[in-house]
Every structure is written in structure tokens, then in C-alpha cells.
């Protein structure tokens, strides 16, 4: 077998392709689409959010930014001063400072540093101003934008704070704002009338409260743009609103007369052991000006939360609420807010009504008869005197302050006519004197007035009025018959412009004729010369008057008797009406002529010469 020659193998050259590791994998189309969709969605959401922030919530965010970038400083207005009628200062305001903080600006970069920084500030403030550290730290850690640390700071303490701030390199967060503090130079004089202010310079009682809106003025403000470090931004616009100071008030009160009244009122209340103190009003009947209005016990206007006299009894045993009630009771103007039964002083109103209505005359013999008791309805009502007065004229009846005679007179007049005059004399309304807490008379409804009610009203019991209502009505009795609205603020003046607003005399109505008024003054003079008002006489001057003694209200014997006396002088062309009221006397007597009459005389003996009124009697 022939062998075939072997075929020679053909060599093939193979070239290896080296992989390029720098080439990235191509992204599949599906994945690419998904990524694009996500990007579009995110873009839409972003645009929506921007639209909401800029358009929908833009105004709100702008306001927030403005609030964060602006600093406002309140410029306190100065509270107006209060003066008496002669220009003596009763209340004034002095410049002091208020210290406040911005807790959100008392910070450092690190939380632990902020904590230590706040503790440093709290410690410094509490030590300088003698404050509780924990309470101060709580304010420093507060989330509020502003916290008040202390008000009414004197200059020496402010200087101490400024030095501490400089030593501790505190740039922002502690504010020193100018403020005012109320001072009362005469301390206790006319305390209830003038009243007091609270820590924010708001009136709390008396004139300070009633005329608060006029006295306090209007605060101003400075608004400045600031950066994050509380520094002022260059070229920023500063807003300035000027403060308007409050008006000054001139009262009709005369400090000299007020001091005389307070001296004798205090003496009478203490010597007669009056458990509820006393009250006194002096008015000029020609214009209704109140020349003095005093209540005892007084209190120190510069220390108004310290109780005086009987208000301090068992003080430490009282609850917080009971203490507050006592203090507010001590502050109140009793002349307008404390009701009382006027007693026999009110007989002047009954007599005026009878004379005006021609029901009687001043000196008709045998017009009235007193047996010591008057039978009315189903009751026997006694006269105050244990000795019957017998036959009397109207003048005699008032000289003797005879209850049966006035009951007989009241029956002749009748309830309807009496109520017409009560209304005309102003007993059913407030006097509108402008003092806080004023009350008005509380009487039986006319339809409920029976024989007993008519009898007791005729001599001034079983209804209540305020002392100022009584004094105002007395002015009408003796000034020619005109009811005049009482005035205690004489004028108001703008300290910036000098503008002055005077209070005009307001004649409400004529109640009785000048003839009746003349007759009543003559009767009142006779009461002082011949009757129960002898102890009110003043040497050299003509004085008229009427005593009053009212029993405790039914169901409230603890209130005790009220002894009062009304006095006028001079009798012709009367310049002064004085009403003295002493509550629950426990001395040798509780009769008005004996207890309150001498007080009226003592007051007149000093006030008449002070006013330059010449003696008119030998």
C-alpha cells in the first residue's frame, strides 16, 4: 500500500485583542428613562415648593424675616403730674430704667458654651438686683423673644449693670430701657383721693385710676434693622414714633385745707375709738369744688401695700386673698364708695321739701307735737331724746332733731313728693365726680313705701347714700337751691403744648327756690345757736349746722352707729359746706352733735381764716 505523503499544516496567525478597561458599560435605555423621570419629578416638586414659599407663604415668611432682622425699642411716655389747687405737687414721675433680656440672643456656637453663658448671665443679674437665681435662669432659658428682669431700677444699679456687661464682654441680649417711677412727695396727704399706680405705671385707685388714660400719655417706638449679631445694618431705614407725655392735673383739693381736715379727723377717730374710722368732705357750694376729701385711716402712697391702723389687725393670719381685699379696702375713696344711713342730717332735705311745697313754715307755733314716741302703722317709733319735746315749730324740731316731728311732716308731704325731691337732689344718681367705685343711693321702691318706711325716711334712716351725695345736696340747700355737679379736677394741661383745659361748673338743675334756701340757712344757724349743734360754733363767725346719728342697719348691728355733722359758714353767702362722718364710735357718746359737731367747728376755725374770710360775728 502506497503511503500518501502527509499534507503540510497551514499556519494561521491569531491576533489577540486586548480588552480596554477604560471603556464603561453602555446604560440600557430603560434605566436611562427611569432616571430621567425621577429627575423630572424632583424638579417639579422643587418648583412647586419654591412657588409655595414665594407666592403662597411669601408674606408670612417676609414678616418672620423682618421680625428677625428688626429691633424695636419702646419709648415710655412720662406720666402726668398731679397738683393741688395751689400748685403743690401730689404725684410726679421720675426717670428710672427697666432691665429686660432677649433669651434667643444669649447664645454661643456650641450648646455646652451656651449653657455656661446663660448661667453666667443669670448669676450676674440675680446678684446685682438681688433676685432669685433660679427664677432669673428660667427667664434666661425662656423661648420668649423678650423677658422683663426688673422694673423701676435706680441709676446706681444701672451703672453697676453696665460695668458688669463691659467686664464680661456681653454684646447683645441685655436691654436697658428708660422708664418712669411714680413718687408722692406728701406721703399720706389725700392718699385715697390721689390713689396709686402699679408696676407698669397703670393707675390702681383714686385719681390715678379714674384719669389713667389722660395721665399716662402714649408710648413711642424706635424700630431699627439689625444683622445676626444685633448690629445695625448700614443705610437701613429707622422708624421713629415720638412718645406723647400724659396731661398734668390740677385738683380742686387745697393741700392746706386737706391737712387741717386730716389732722382733726384722725384725732376724732382715735379719741372716740371709731372702729371703722371716719370721713370728711369740704365743698364750695357756689361752684361744687371739693376743697378737701379725707378718710381715716390714711396710708402712705409710697408704700401702698403696707396696711395701717385697723387694716393691719391680725395681718399675719390672713390669706393672700384676704390681704388683697384689705389693701383695696384701705385704698378706696369712701366718700363715693361707702354707703351709709345719713340719719338726722337728712332732715334738712325733708324740711326743704316741705317749705318748697308750702306744706309748713319755719316758725308756725304748735305745728308739731312730740310725746317721745310716734305710733306709725303697727309700730311705735321713739324719739332719740328721753325727754318729750312737746309743741314745736319746724325750727324747733330741727334744733331738737326731733324724730316724731319729722315723721309727722313726712306724712304730710307723702312718698311721691318726697321721691320727686330725692331725685331732684341727686340721690338716685351718681354725682359724676369722676372717682372710681362711686355708688348711688339705695331706696325702697316707691310702690313698696308704707307708713313705716315713709316715717323712717323722713328722719334719714333705712336707706343708704354716699357722703358725697349728702354733701352735694347740702350745697343745693344753701347756695340758692341749685344742684351743682361736684368737681375734683380743676384743670388739665398738656406739658408739651401748654394747652390748658379748665373744668366748667355744671349746674344740673334748680331744686328749691332762693327763698327756701335762705330759710334753711337761718334754721341751720339756729341749730348751732340753740340746738344740738352748739359744739360746732366758731368764735367770730356765723355757723349753721345739723347733727346726725344713725342706728346700725337692720341685721348688721356690728356696723355700729354713725355719728355725723353738717356745717356751713358763713351763713350768708356761704363759702364752705363741711360734712363729718364718724363710723362706730365707742367713746363717751355716739351722738352726732357731741362727737362730730366739735370736729366741724375745729376744722372751720382754721380753714375760714386761711381762706381770708373775715369774721362776721362779735
Catalytic positions:
344
Bridge-partner residues for 549, per DSSP? 563
Of 279, 277, 271, nearest to 295 by C-alpha is 279
Q: 165-179 burial string, b = 16+ CB within 10 Å, else e?
A: beeeebebbbbeeeb
| Phi (first) and psi of residue 84, to 5 degrees | -85, -175
Q: Residue 158 and residue 183: Cα distance in Å, rounded?
A: 19
Whole-number Å distance between alpha carbons of 576 and 193: 20
Say if CB 182 and CB 201 are below 8 A apart.
Answer: yes
Cα gap 449→428, rounded to integer Å: 16
Burial-class residue 467 by CB neighbours within 10 Å (0-12, 13-18, 19+). buried
Sequence-ordered list of residues with C-beta below 8 angstroms from that of 261, at least 6 positions apart, any chain: 280, 282, 292, 294, 603
Other C-beta atoms closer than 10 Å to the C-beta of 225 total 16
User: Does a cis peptide bond (omega within 30 degrees of 0) precede residue 570?
Assistant: yes
Residue 164: Cβ-neighbour burial (10 angstroms; 0-12, 13-18, 19+): middle
Mind giving me the DSSP string for 10-33?
PP----PPPP-TTSPPPPPHHHHH
* 3-state secondary structure at position 376: strand
Strands 82-83 and 248-251: parallel
| Cβ atoms 573, 611 nearer than 8 A | no
Give the whole-angstrom CA distance, residue 272 versus residue 268: 6
Amino acid at each position: 500500500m502506497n503511503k500518501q505523503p502527509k499534507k503540510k499544516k497551514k499556519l494561521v496567525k491569531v491576533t489577540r485583542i486586548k480588552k480596554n478597561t477604560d471603556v464603561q458599560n453602555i446604560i440600557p435605555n430603560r434605566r436611562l428613562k427611569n432616571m430621567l423621570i425621577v429627575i423630572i419629578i424632583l424638579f417639579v416638586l422643587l418648583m412647586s415648593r419654591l412657588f409655595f414659599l414665594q407666592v403662597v407663604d411669601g408674606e408670612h415668611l417676609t414678616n418672620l424675616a423682618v421680625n428677625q432682622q428688626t429691633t424695636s425699642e419702646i419709648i415710655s411716655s412720662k406720666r402726668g403730674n398731679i397738683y393741688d389747687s395751689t400748685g403743690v405737687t401730689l404725684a410726679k414721675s421720675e426717670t428710672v430704667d427697666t432691665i429686660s433680656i432677649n433669651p434667643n440672643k444669649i447664645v454661643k456656637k456650641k450648646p455646652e458654651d451656651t449653657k455656661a453663658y446663660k448661667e453666667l448671665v443669670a448669676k450676674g443679674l440675680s446678684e446685682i438686683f438681688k433676685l432669685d437665681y433660679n427664677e432669673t435662669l428660667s427667664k434666661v432659658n425662656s423661648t420668649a423673644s423678650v423677658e422683663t428682669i426688673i422694673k423701676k431700677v435706680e441709676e446706681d444699679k444701672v451703672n453697676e449693670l453696665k460695668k458688669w456687661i463691659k467686664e464680661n464682654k456681653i454684646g447683645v441680649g441685655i436691654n436697658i430701657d428708660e422708664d418712669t417711677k411714680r413718687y408722692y412727695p406728701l406721703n399720706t396727704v389725700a392718699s385715697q383721693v390721689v390713689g396709686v399706680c402699679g408696676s407698669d405705671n397703670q393707675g390702681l385707685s383714686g385719681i390715678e385710676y379714674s384719669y389713667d388714660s389722660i395721665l399716662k400719655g402714649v408710648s413711642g417706638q424706635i424700630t431699627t434693622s439689625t444683622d445676626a449679631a444685633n448690629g445695625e445694618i448700614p443705610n437701613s431705614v429707622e422708624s421713629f414714633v415720638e412718645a406723647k407725655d400724659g396731661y398734668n392735673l390740677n385738683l380742686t383739693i387745697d393741700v392746706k385745707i386737706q391737712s387741717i381736715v386730716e389732722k382733726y379727723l384722725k384725732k376724732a377717730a382715735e379719741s372716740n375709738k371709731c372702729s371703722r374710722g371716719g370721713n370728711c368732705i369740704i365743698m364750695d357750694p357756689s361752684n361744687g369744688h371739693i376743697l378737701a376729701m379725707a378718710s381715716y385711716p390714711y396710708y402712705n402712697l409710697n408704700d401702698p401695700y403696707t396696711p395701717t391702723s385697723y387694716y393691719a389687725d391680725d395681718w399675719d393670719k390672713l390669706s393672700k386673698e384676704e390681704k388683697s381685699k384689705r389693701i383695696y379696702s384701705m385704698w378706696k375713696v369712701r366718700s363715693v364708695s361707702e354707703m351709709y344711713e345719713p340719719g338726722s342730717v337728712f332732715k334738712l332735705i325733708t324740711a326743704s321739701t316741705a317749705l318748697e311745697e308750702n306744706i309748713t313754715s319755719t316758725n308756725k307755733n304748735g305745728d308739731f307735737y312730740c310725746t317721745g314716741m310716734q305710733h306709725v302703722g303697727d309700730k311705735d317709733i321713739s324719739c332719740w331724746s328721753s325727754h318729750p319735746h312737746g309743741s314745736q315749730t319746724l325750727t324747733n324740731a330741727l334744733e331738737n332733731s326731733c324724730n316724731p316731728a319729722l315723721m309727722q311732716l313726712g306724712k304730710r308731704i307723702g312718698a311721691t313728693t318726697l321721691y320727686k325731691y330725692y331725685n331732684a337732689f341727686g340721690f338716685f344718681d351718681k354725682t359724676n365726680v369722676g372717682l372710681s367705685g362711686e355708688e348711688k343711693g339705695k331706696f325702697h321702691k316707691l310702690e313698696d313705701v308704707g307708713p313705716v318706711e315713709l316715717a323712717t325716711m323722713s328722719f334719714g334712716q333705712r336707706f343708704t347714700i354716699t357722703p358725697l351725695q349728702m354733701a352735694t345736696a347740702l350745697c343745693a340747700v344753701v347756695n340758692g337751691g341749685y344742684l351743682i355737679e361736684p368737681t375734683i379736677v380743676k384743670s388739665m394741661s398738656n406739658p408739651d403744648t401748654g394747652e390748658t383745659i379748665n373744668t366748667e361748673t355744671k349746674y344740673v338743675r334748680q331744686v328749691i327756690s332762693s327763698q327756701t334756701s335762705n330759710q334753711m340757712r337761718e334754721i341751720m344757724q339756729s341749730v348751732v345757736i340753740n340746738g344740738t349743734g352748739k359744739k360746732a360754733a366758731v368764735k367770730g363767725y356765723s355757723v349753721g349746722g345739723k347733727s346726725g346719728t344713725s342706728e346700725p342697719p337692720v341685721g348688721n348691728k356690728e356696723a355700729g352707729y354713725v355719728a355725723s355733722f353738717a356745717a356751713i359758714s358763713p351763713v350768708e353767702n356761704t363759702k364752705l359746706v363741711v360734712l363729718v362722718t364718724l363710723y362706730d364710735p365707742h367713746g363717751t357718746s355716739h351722738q352726732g352733735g357731741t362727737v362730730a359737731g366739735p370736729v366741724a367747728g375745729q376744722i372751720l376755725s382754721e380753714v375760714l381764716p386761711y381762706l381770708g374770710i373775715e369774721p362776721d360775728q362779735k
